[in-house]
Amino acid sequence: MATYKEILENLSNLKASGKDAHVNMNPEHAARMRWQNQFQTGVDIAKYTAAIMRKDMDAYDADTSAYTQSLGCWHGFIGQQKLISIKKHFGSNDKKYLYLSGWMVAALRSEFGPLPDQSMHEKTSVASLINELYTFLRQADARELSALFRELDAASDETKPLIQEKINNYETHIVPIIADIDAGFGNEEATYLMAKQMIEAGACCIQIENQVSDEKQCGHQDGKVTVPHSDFLAKINAVRYAFLELGVDDGVIVARTDSLGAGLTKQIAITHEVGDLGDQYNSFLDVEEVSPDKMQHGDVLINQNGKVVRPKRLPSNLYQFRKNTGEARCILDSITSLQNGADLIWIETEKPHIGQIGAMMDEIKKVVPNAKLVYNNSPSFNWTLNFRQQIFDGMQEANKDVSSYDREDLMNEKYDSTELAIEADEKIRTFQADAANQAGIFHHLITLPTYHTAALSTDNLAKEYFGDQGMLGYVKGVQRKEIREGIACVKHQNMAGSDMGDDHKEYFAGEAALKASGDDNTMNQF
């Protein structure tokens, strides 16, 4: 990627060439605009962010404390504000990503209206949101650099070098997005076509799950149906070919297994010999041995280790796995995916339990030593209750007195100040670091946090503004906090691009420009 100095030099040479087309061009202004928009296409973004993810994966392999994080964002503005906040509080976006949640796409971005997470939303809405997120992130770059350029123009000779250095070393808001392609939205060709759209919009990392596309359910709902490994690997291949076709050789694939919660399959896997992949998949089926005289009309029978068995088939025409085989299937799924083109794995669990996750990862690492997890720190978990119960169980195993606690009622506020609750909160606080160290979790994400924060903040405002606090409900609860906490969008006109528009008007029209940033602009109050 060219530096700002190189861009300015190239454009100055272009102006000096004497072409009439550039007679009114100011190289400095053109260089500023180009530096404010460093990524010309989504594929440029995908290549840039894929390199970041690969670097971060190597860093984690060397040091498990170097894990990465993201939050799910359902709108470009939400993603933008998240990255602005991270830069404000921590000075850098290093190891901070965005997650594009299929759940929130379905619930908040579908033209059909709110939908459950069952792949019923428009396929194109995922790529559209990726494009929207990166549009807002590029605008965040342009806005911050615009402020630096204005600062440079107003600076004294003594301070100009410092500001120029900030411009030259500017850290972009463009970060990797882990994008949810659900179960591929159809056959492998459909998966390939959709993956291309997502990559062209900027996605460097695509997450795909092993559920049946037309039976897809949310990870934390019942009724999940998995597909044989050969079907899933064909879709992983489709995503990889999409990356390679577009020149994103470092593209990252996250293979998610829902087998822990999926007790059903739509297909019996094809198998050619004992112990092959199809045979291993079928070995988990709930079957019963049958003799010729016990066969019934319409039975589906398979030869399993020399025995004729009948898989349990439900009225839905789905086949059932044996109970308590979920973890073994997750381990097989994960190893198979990593050995066949996936870069990272995702095991969807029913609770946030490091011991459970770590035990599966230990088995996976026996075969794939550098296996790494992307993990869903899901809002579907009751984190408070789960961790309080884990502490309770640990105390009980250690023969400590737990008589003052009701395990089923540990969510109760009366326990908030107890030793148990304080210890549970500390375990929640350190969960990411502990799980990264003990359970191979490279990337921690929360799938749909901003769904909840939007609802919570709106509830707080509605309660105050429409109640007896009136306008004070907004002023005290929102605006005053924005001002005092340095929230950039308190100057909402600036955030929406008013100042950048003024800069451009001046570039285009010179002194004749009609600008919005005069003395009467109300943003001057902040």
Catalytic sites, residue numbers: 218
Rounded to whole angstroms, the Cα distance separating 48 from 134 reads 13
The alpha carbon dihedral of 437, 439, 442, 444 has a sign of negative
Residue tagged 């086949």 (tokens): 319
Report helix, strand or coil for 438.
Answer: helix
> DSSP labels for 206-260?
EEEE-B-GGG---TTSS--EE--HHHHHHHHHHHHHHHHHTT-TT-EEEEEE-TT
Which residues does residue 5 pair with via DSSP β-bridges, in sequence order?
A: none
CA–CA distance, 247 with 253 (Å, rounded to integer): 15
Question: 216, exposed or middle or buried, with CB in 10 Å at 0-12, 13-18, 19+?
Answer: buried
Using only C-alpha atoms, what is the Rg of the chain? 27
CA dihedral 390, 393, 394, 398 (to 10 degrees): 170
Instruction: Rounding to the nearest 10 degrees, give the CA dihedral for residues 211, 214, 220, 225.
Output: -50
E-only strand ranges, 5-67: none
Look at residues 406, 404, 399, 364 and name the one whose alpha carbon lies nearest to residue 385. 406
Specify whether the CB–CB gap between 31 and 7 falls below 8 A.
Answer: yes
Comparing CA positions, the residue from 72, 3, 40 lying closest to residue 174 is 40
Contact 259, 330 (CB under 8 A): yes
| Cβ–Cβ < 8 Å for 420, 391 | yes
Within 10 A of 3 (CB to CB), how many other CB atoms are there? 11
Give me the half-sphere count of Cα atoms (radius 13 Å) on the Cβ side of residue 224.
24
Which DSSP helix (H) or strand (E) runs through 526? none
Chain centroid, CA 153 distance in Å:
39
Give the integer Cα–Cα distance in Å for 128 and 136.
12
Closest CA to 239 of 204, 194, 192, 198: 192
| Pairing state between β 307-311 and 252-257 | unpaired
The two tokens of residue 283 are: 């070995």
The β-bridge relationship of strands 302-304 and 307-311 is: antiparallel
The Cβ of residue 163 has, within 10 Å, a number of other Cβ atoms equal to 17
